[in-house]
Structure 1
């Protein structure tokens, strides 16, 4: 009989699962464990459903009765010699039938339809009208602004590539409300899809469980969580549960029961997650998926028509794919764990669904990566945002839009355009560069270039909101002696051009031209450092230069590129294309005095690198800080406990951390 995890209590009696006392342990197909005597009555009465996840059990434990000892055949013609006694077969011991075979793992019997999700529950006193009123009180979008490349264009000049920046910023959450726990926010339906293949055994799985514990702790009572695990197959470990005290207990018990074994079937894990979201009876306002894997899918992918490149989109269920304008499916935020994961696959999954791809090179910071992600998901304030742009002058034409992965459209006549933005976290910003053809002015002192508006749905209250920016105008003097240049436009132009060169360098590396990739990145790094924004002390440009320098180092040879360069570059592409913070390896551990063997030091280095990227919102930074403090406290507690053991001290050590930063409008206790 397999020895269960001693820290995992029986889900029925909540007693320990230790083998002391001779208690028989039953491990179900869904990986949950129970005392045999606790479930025997239920089984006897035909209750064949797991009390934790409601999975239907196909096989049940039974006591094999003792078999009579077989009598060996006797051959009278040739009796056995007297010096060779007969060997009687002993009856088999009474045992419970083993439930699991290691290769391959069994497929659990799931309900036919995942419509057993726990009903959503609105916060007390936060009905729709109050949520809408609270949303209105904090204002509409904090900013819908435009910036022209130059403040003036000569009257007889007709530039055909004049840059205008459209800047959108989501409203924040008022600190006073947050401190009182009264800030309305949209509750979250979160599905975590976790790799539990054989390569995740040991410390990796322990760190994953710790990270999931942090996520569970920081979800609110109106958020819901479903845990899906996958190896050679996939199973829903918990149904979509509200994160009340009881729900958190069930979720933690389920996470602790995870065991690493088998292969890596990412597609099956995502299909199970899609089933959870597609078939739920109730829906919270925000839905998202977190996918973590340390390996490569070896079950699903086909090859492209050329026969060389895997067709990674095979991994994405159709219900997650964004197929056109107005399609707001749940995003999948992917996390590549270690240096053996398939970064290209994880990037395609995130890109196809509107999520971000994070590269977790240092295993110790997996909790920080999850923390930063949920810090944003728990503060979604804007949904289905769309920017509409129209020409403000008969002669002005919109030539093109630099919108990254956000779908943009320019009408054939160039008179109007749109950008589908989707969800925004509190205080999150988006910047888009437009390039216009501007006609010569006919006696005008100024030209109205474009008119910009933004429509969206308030996530907390559900009300539609429309915001219109001031008309974008440019002065038209007879001559321009010294026109003022916009640093906002310059900064975004530098970032967009760097993003394009990162993609070009990656393409070169993929075909084996590593020196060419290095040269592309080196030239772009030099251009960034010489830009007016960088020379003016802009921290975003400085961080971009450091990012390019690190990419050069990781793409210098085939070995470096395969080991970490591909994942690092794809994480950078994802961050810039979405204009959303993700987790990337620290650019220089020595810069903050950290070593790779130090959890606290690694955490600070990772945080420093990500904060420099400037896409992280205040709530994301606050949640990341909370994670780092919790991990440092845990490491300190373990060190003190170890020191106490070495000195013979058995007294408990209590560590109290002040956690009065705002995270998601709730007070949370450290683990």
Structure 2
């Protein structure tokens, strides 16, 4: 396109008519802006298409001079600042009002002590208290979107795909993300080829934006030699950090099929160098201090594809940012794995969740909260947990181990004594409403407890069994990392023996964790098996357990256990999208995406 024709499109009438209404002005500006973006996108797509090749080295397709010229054109399209994101859609209207009160869906909270009664004359040590949170469903909200509008950046750390079908699966996964975003969401893609760069600014996913992104995805290609994953990721972080407008929810999705460039032979040296580089990452994905700052952390959801990816680096990225790490055994499982993940990302209904657990007449000894930040007060009477966001219908459980002192008996007055458990939640919902909800539960301290009060809670017991299984997997992995595979398997087998009696109860979660231990023990048989599958599988499980979020492990995709009572942190939206994608693929003759 010539410069004259380009400028003619942007000619402006110099007359001064009356200013239009503000809503029309916004729409007009957005339309002009999108026309300009489209011209840039078309030019970028043309350049990208020129780079495409069919399983041949790039040098064989074009001369060095032509390649250098095209590289120069691509570099010139990269702005110095990434503050060129498209404006946000107008917010949803105020919530509906019923009987003079606004409708505010809330997080459901249940406080479950291990025993509802404890004898006054008997001190209780390590008494478990389970706090269960259940996020509201999207159907409970009256606004149109029924969830938080989301900004997503997809970062591709992909080496050359020697098989064309591999590239097709990657493109199919990207199309699933594009197809399922709404006009209030925005998307950007960062590619490593021909060098790490942003393929498009943060673009609104209306039909116009989706079609533009589909064209870019169709022209994607990858080279054998690309930059380091952390350098590529920083580009994606810049898209978020430098944006001019902000949607209330944000996520980065990182797809990787190759090892990190940090590959010293000594594992300890590699870990040290990796940690050093991580310290230099932006705080928005690797905060230096935990706590309230995590509300601003961008979750990085990483996907390691095949046996050659770097599980250590990807899991560190996800754990430092409150994201997830999924191990995808082969490319054919990638579209479903990404569908499950984006099904959760696009169903966030509450954010900035801060839980406080307070106790009277007792002390908090320790907590089982996974990787979520927590802090126990000096006196042991209060514990704060920073949770962040929750998906629709998502369930999270936190266990607090407390001790209760022996009470001094004064006649029969001890019958009226109790320890009060208070749970307070602070959070913001998807329509911008702030909540502060509190609930209390009493642990009675009679002289003679009733038989019912001395019966242990089934929910607390099952949680302890499940957590003991996860703890065994963590310990076994530490041994396997040191090449002590016999000891690693011994830890797992011993745990399975201890759990065998609990299997008779038929608890779905106990059955599930027993199956996971059995699967992991199989991959801990030798160094070759561990490096090929065992390390990545166990790492993905531990990540899922740490944040209570569903992850793909090998061939298992969250949603595959739809018929089971326990679905390993899977939410209905994740299951529905996986099923929808599979049905669509079946209708399209095996091709992902919508017609």
Scaled by the length of structure 2, the TM-score of the pair is 0.83
- Residue 519 and residue 134 in structure 1: after superposition, are their counterparts in 2 closer, same or farther (change >3 A)? farther
Q: Tell me what 2:20 maps to.
A: none
- The aligned residue for residue 369 of structure 2 is 403
Distance change >3 Å, CA 551–CA 388, structure 1 → 2: same
| Pair 338,55 (structure 1): closer, same or farther in 2 beyond 3 Å | same
Picking from 453, 472, 476, the partner of 2:442 is 472
Deviation at 1:630, TM superposition (A): 1.8
Q: State the Cα distance separating 1:636 from its structure 2 match.
A: 5.5
User: How far, CA to CA, are the matches of 2:44 and 2:175 in structure 1?
Assistant: 26
1:632 aligns with 2:594: no
Relative to structure 1, the CA distance from residue 55 to residue 108 in structure 2 (aligned partners, 3 Å threshold; closer, same or farther) is: farther
Matches within 5 A, 1:499-538: 499-531=470-502, 534-538=503-507
Secondary structure of the 1:340 match is coil
In the TM superposition, what is the alpha-carbon distance from 1:386 to its structure 2 partner?
Answer: 0.8
1:19 paired residue number: none
In 1, Cα distance between equivalents of 2:563 and 2:485:
25
Question: In structure 2, do the counterparts of structure 1 residues 248 and 134 end up closer, same or farther at CA, with 3 Å as the change threshold?
Answer: farther
Go from structure 1 to structure 2 and tell me whether the alpha carbon gap of 1:377 and 1:509 turns closer, same or farther (over 3 Å shift). same
Q: Secondary structure at the match of 1:497?
A: helix
Pick from 482, 490, 496: which aligns with 2:467?
496
SS in 2 for 1:582: coil
Query: What is the aligned counterpart of 2:285 among 316, 320, 324?
Result: 320
Equivalent position to 1:554, from 519, 523, 526 = 523
| C-alpha contact 1:194 1:228 (8 A) present in aligned 2 | yes
1:196 aligns with 2:158: yes
Deviations 1:456-500 (A, max 9, x none): 111x22221011122232353425656221111111111222222
Distance 1:609 1:363, change over 3 A: farther
When residues 95 and 290 of structure 1 are mapped into structure 2, their CA distance, relative to the original with a 3 A threshold, is closer
1:214 is matched with 176
For the 8 Å contact 2:422–2:440, the answer to whether it is kept is yes
Match of 2:83 among 115, 125, 139: 115
1:307 aligns with 2:272: no
Q: Do residues 245 (structure 1) and 207 (structure 2) align?
A: yes
Match of 2:26 in 1: none
Q: Contact (CA 8 Å) 1:107, 1:233: kept in 2 or not? A: no
For residues 197 and 139 of structure 1, do their structure 2 counterparts lie closer, same or farther at Cα, with a shift above 3 Å needed? same
1:155 to 2:120 alignment: yes
Structure 1 contact 108–235 (Cα < 8 Å) conserved: no
1:403–1:135 distance in 2 versus 1, CA, 3 Å: farther
Q: Identify which of 20, 35, 39 aligns with 1:51.
A: 39
Mapped contact 2:371–2:546 kept (Cα < 8 A): yes
Q: What CA deviation, in whole Å up to 9, does each residue of 1:435-457 have, x standing for no partner?
A: 11101233422522421111111
Distance 2:306 2:565 in 1: 22
Matching residue of 1:617: 571
Residue of structure 1 in register with 2:24 after alignment: none
CA distance in 2, matches of 1:344, 1:402: 24
Distance 1:614 1:265 in 2: 33
Deviation at 1:389? 1.5
Q: Distance in 2 between matches of 1:509 and 1:145?
A: 38
- TM superposition shift of 1:325: 1.3
**Structure 1 residue 324, shift from structure 2 partner:** 2.2
Give the number of the structure whose alpha-carbon radius of gyration is greater: 1
Tell me the CA shift for residue 134 of structure 1.
13
Name which of 525, 534, 550 aligns with 1:581. 550
Once residues 90 and 470 of structure 2 are traced to their aligned partners in structure 1, the CA distance between those partners, rounded to angstroms, is 42
CA RMSD of aligned residues (A): 3.6
C-alpha spacing 1:95/1:505, structure 2 compared with 1 (3 Å): closer
Q: Specify the alignment match of 1:332 in structure 2.
A: 300
- The Cα offsets for residues 93-127 of structure 1, whole Å up to 9 and x where unpaired, read as x999512599999866510001111111036xx23
User: Contact 2:333/2:555 (CA < 8 Å) preserved in 1?
Assistant: no
Does residue 273 (structure 1) correspond to residue 236 (structure 2)? The answer is: yes
| Post-superposition CA distance 1:404-440 (Å, at most 9, x none) | 0001110111111111111001111111111111012
Tell whether the 8 Å contact from 1:138 to 1:173 is kept in structure 2 after alignment: no
Q: In the superposition, relative to structure 1, how do residues 258 and 95 fare at CA in structure 2: closer, same or farther (>3 Å)? A: closer
Partner of 2:399 in structure 1? 433
Determine if the alignment matches structure 1 residue 452 to structure 2 residue 423.
yes
Shift of 1:355: 0.1
Asked if structure 1 preserves the Cα contact closer than 8 Å seen for 2:118 and 2:446, the reply is yes
Task: Return the offset for 1:51.
Answer: 2.9
Of structures 1 and 2, the one scoring higher in RCO (CA 8 A, sep 6+) is 2
Deviation at 1:527, TM superposition (A): 2.4
Q: What secondary structure is seen at the aligned counterpart in 2 of 1:140?
A: coil
2:320 corresponds to: 352
Cα distance, 1:326–1:495 mapped onto 2, change above 3 Å: same
Alpha-carbon spacing, 1:41–1:104, altered in 2? closer, same or farther (3 Å): closer
The offset of 1:585, in angstroms, is: 2.3
Change (3 A) 1:296 1:104: farther
What's the counterpart of residue 139 of structure 1?
105
How far apart in 2 are the matches of 1:128 and 1:189? 22
**Is the counterpart of residue 386 in structure 1 residue 354 in structure 2?**
yes
Alignment: residue pair count:
542
Give the stretch that moved more between structures: 461-470 or 522-531: 522-531
Answering whether residue 505 of structure 2 is matched by residue 540 of structure 1, we say no
Is the 2:470–2:513 Cα contact (8 Å) retained in structure 1? Answer: no
1:645-656 residue pairs with structure 2 within 5 A?
A: none
TM score, norm. by length of structure 1: 0.74
Determine if contact 1:107/1:234 at 8 Å carries over to the other structure: no
Structure 1 residue aligned with 2:197 = 235
Deviation at 1:334, TM superposition (A): 0.4
SS of equivalent to 2:479: helix
The structure that is helix-richer by fraction is 2
Q: Residues 402 and 371 of structure 1: is their aligned pair in 2 closer, same or farther, counting only changes over 3 Å?
A: same
- Cα pair distance change 1:625/1:477, threshold 3 Å: farther
Query: Is residue 146 of structure 2 the alignment partner of residue 184 of structure 1?
Result: yes
Is residue 196–residue 227 contact of structure 2 (8 Å, CA) maintained in 1? no
Match of 1:33 in 2: none
CA deviations on 1:593-628 (whole Å, 9 max, x unpaired) are xxxxxxxxxx79956699854311111111111112
Instruction: Give unpaired runs (5+ residues) of structure 1.
Output: 1-37, 61-93, 588-602, 639-668
